[in-house]
Structure 1
Amino acid sequence: MYADRYSNRRGLDPAGVTLSLAMCGVIGFGLTLATPNITRHIETILIGEPIHLTPDPPPIDPPKPQPETETLKPVPTQPRDSIDMTKPIVTPAPGAETGTLVDLPPTNTLTAGTGTEIGTVIPLHTPILLGPTLDPRYRDYFQPAYPSDMRLGEHEGRVVVRVLIGTDGRVKDVQQISAASPSFFEATRKQALAKWRFKPGTKDGVAIEAWHTMAVRFVLDEE
């Protein structure tokens, strides 16, 4: 009984075989149409999105060789004439002919003349100055009177004054340089203005006012 039931199922059913083949054909045709999309999907899953590479830029041409330029050679220059600084420099005088050199006049001189002739060299004049001197005719009137307070105190001393002497030889002003006491200076000032006489100072022989320094001693023995 069991043998008959299993034996019937092992046999091939023609209708079932035909249906199976038909389904396999449909599935195969569908796979054929879907193969590119499936393949692309599988590649995307396995390796990711496709990378679009940009094309390489065109090669750059090597620079062209530049033509060689000529090197400018330095132009030799003529050396200038050297100037001898040890020799005096001369310039042409007014009215002199071209090419004639005339020495410059020495310093401290003046040149007088016209524009057509070389002038005469005139040296600068240095004035002659002479200071005043005491007139010997009034020598006895030089010593002042001894101040009474200095005599009673038995004081001695010296006075140095600066006097302005006019063109007439008289003293016009007296200035103290040093004095042992005011009394000595006052006695000297009064004597100078009243009695002192000088030969005035001169400039090229002409009388002028000039300052002169004088010293006076007050000594008790001379009274």
Structure 2
Amino acid sequence: MSRVRNFNHILLVTVLSLMVNGMLFTGLPNLLPKVRRQADLESVQTVDFLREPPGRQTDKPPERPEDAPPPEPPRVVPQRTLDPINDQTPLTPRMEMPAFDLAVSTPDMALGVPVDAPMAQTPAMPSLKAYYGMAEVDQVPVATLNPRPVYPYRARRLNLDGAVDVKFLVDTTGQVSRISILSSSPPDLFNDSVMAALSGWRFTPGKVQGRPVSTWVTTTIEFRIDDI
């Protein structure tokens, strides 16, 4: 019996607790003051995206008529028409020409009109040949360096004299080339000595009208035992 009472007592307490909690849960929000949010107070602003009509006035003040410069009057160029009969204005400007005294005395006319003599033309320089002979040049080559040929040992031992006729070319720089033996006495005894000596000779070149030219030279080189 006591157990039933205890169970009923616990059940009653539980039911009362649930009722009290339900009343508090449902009535408590109504007891609190309502707070207005900032979002509830904001108003919606509308924006007009329509274009401004062409005739609508802008904020810029209109220009006053007195500020604009007055228009420039059109320029009128007077046109003149020439009367071919009455108008005597010349079409070309008149120029005052100085007066020249063209009086010529009779004696001067008898002498005729002086004419300047034509200027003398310098004759053209003739073209030069490749080679000239001794008789064709204005100035023959002159030796500036001509060491004597070596006297051959065989000719000295035999106590022999000799002579060699030789021909060579002196070019425009004065050097010797194209050496050839024309004759020699005794034969072939002095030829090598002459060829070796002429290779080292130097000349002032021959000239034609002041210009150096290549010149053929013919000469005789003598060997004398007494000159040793």
TM-score tier (shorter): 0.3 to 0.5
| TM-score, with structure 1 as normaliser | 0.40
If asked which structure has higher relative contact order (CA below 8 Å, sep 6+), I would say 2
